[in-house]
Amino acid sequence: DLERLPNTSCFVSPGWKGETQVMQMDLAGFAVSSGSACSSGKVKVPRVLRAMGLSDEQAECALRVSLGVETTEEDVLRFCEAWLKQERKTRDRAA
């Protein structure tokens, strides 16, 4: 097990670009980021994601989600439902 921030997770959904996920989740009312925090605003694949073992293609589809001190279980469930809904829409459009 590698060290990690306990409140931050990285999700990869192949074929669904991180930037697109950020926009869709923003429209759903959630603030998330693509890539890694130390590479915000940069175009190349973040070294942190490479160190985690992600390929360039996977890194382009990475979504970073952080939980705050006041984040509730209900907030997490709402996020999961919204993310899955957007993921299904994206897959349906691609089919």
The CATH number given to whatever domain includes residue 80 is 3.90.1150.10
Dist CA 41 CA 78 (whole Å)? 27
Q: What is the pTM of this model?
A: 0.81
DSSP 8-state code for residue 39: G
Q: Which positions are catalytic?
A: 38
Q: Which residues pair with 63 in a beta bridge?
A: 11, 34
Domain-embedded: residue 80:
yes
Pairwise CA distance, residues 63 & 40, whole Å? 12
Three-class secondary structure of residue 44 per DSSP: coil
C-alpha to C-alpha distance for 83 and 34, rounded to whole angstroms: 14
pLDDT at 35: 65
Domain count, the chain: 1
Q: Which residues constitute the domain of residue 31? A: 8-94
**Ranges of the chain whose pLDDT falls below 50:** none
Tens of pLDDT, residue by residue over 62-74, are: 999 999 999 999 9
